[in-house]
Amino acid sequence: METMNTYDAAWLEQARKLGTSTLFESCGLQTSSVDPDIRPVWAGASVAGPAYPLECSPGDNLSIHIAMEQAPRGSILVVATGGFVAGYWGEVLTVAAEAAGVAGLVIDGGVRDIAALKARRFPVFTRGVSMRGTIKASAPSVGRPINFTGTPVAPGDLLVADDDGVLVLPAAHVEATLAKGQARADKEAAIMEQLREGKTTIDLLGLAQWRQAR
């Protein structure tokens, strides 16, 4: 399995620290925001890395097993299932992912073995939880571009996920978005400092015209 060097470690750490909300506001791409029903399995989960997209047939997780052999180290698996909720992923695949260097999972289907996933602190973002297992009979797409809940995902796009949601940035937009995101974060830090000094959001955001006469 090859190591993916699309983004250096500093960029990935910056993206994770800036977070999905700041990056979404900075990128100008409405389609970059994944369906908000895709939520973290455990509070505080966050991950940033190159996306590795794949598609599973409803109730069939063979594509995931194939991807585990093909995804470059550091990848985040992005699994489309058509929204069919079943236990496509559990503790066994989590251990396999850790051994293979897979950094996280985003799936619009479901997962199981939740206690083990929480204990291992593996970043998983999913539509639901289901004890129902899956078959292994078909693999519609592995490592090719997909549409994930309305968001285009190509191999190597930057995926960032945290408690606020999941964001997919096309590779060509990453550098500019990180720069704009950092500027936005710095501006907000300055605003919060002024708030601590007694200013109000009405003052700082130019909303004085909405003040009510007392």
pLDDT tens-digit profile of 86-120? 999 999 999 999 999 999 999 999 999 999 999 99
- Check whether residue 185 and residue 150 sit in a common domain: no
Centre a 10 Å sphere on the Cβ of residue 130 and count the other Cβ atoms it contains. Answer: 18
Q: Please check whether residues 121 and 48 belong to one and the same domain.
A: yes
Are 103 and 204 in the same domain?
Answer: no
* 52 and 154 fall within a common domain: yes
Does residue 86 form part of some domain?
Answer: yes
Whether residues 24 and 104 share a domain: the answer is: yes
Of 80 and 3, the structure prediction assigns the larger pLDDT to 80
What is the per-residue pLDDT for 5? 45
Domain that holds residue 194: 179-210
Residues 161 and 189 in one domain: no
CATH number at residue 164: 3.50.30.40
With respect to residue 199, please indicate whether it lies within any of the assigned structural domains: yes
Please give the Cα distance from 102 to 54 (Å, whole number).
14
Do 54 and 80 belong together in one domain? yes
Residue 1 has pLDDT above 70, yes or no: no
Residues 121 and 168 in one domain: yes
* 116 and 197 assigned to the same domain: no
Q: Does the predicted model carry a pTM greater than 0.85? A: yes
CB atoms under 10 Å from CB of 152, counted, come to 15
Q: Does any domain span residue 58?
A: yes
CA separation for the pair 108, 38 (Å, rounded): 7
Count of domains in the chain?
2
For residue 167, which phi and psi values (nearest 5 degrees)? -125, 140
- Are 26 and 41 within one domain? yes
Residue 2: inside a domain: no
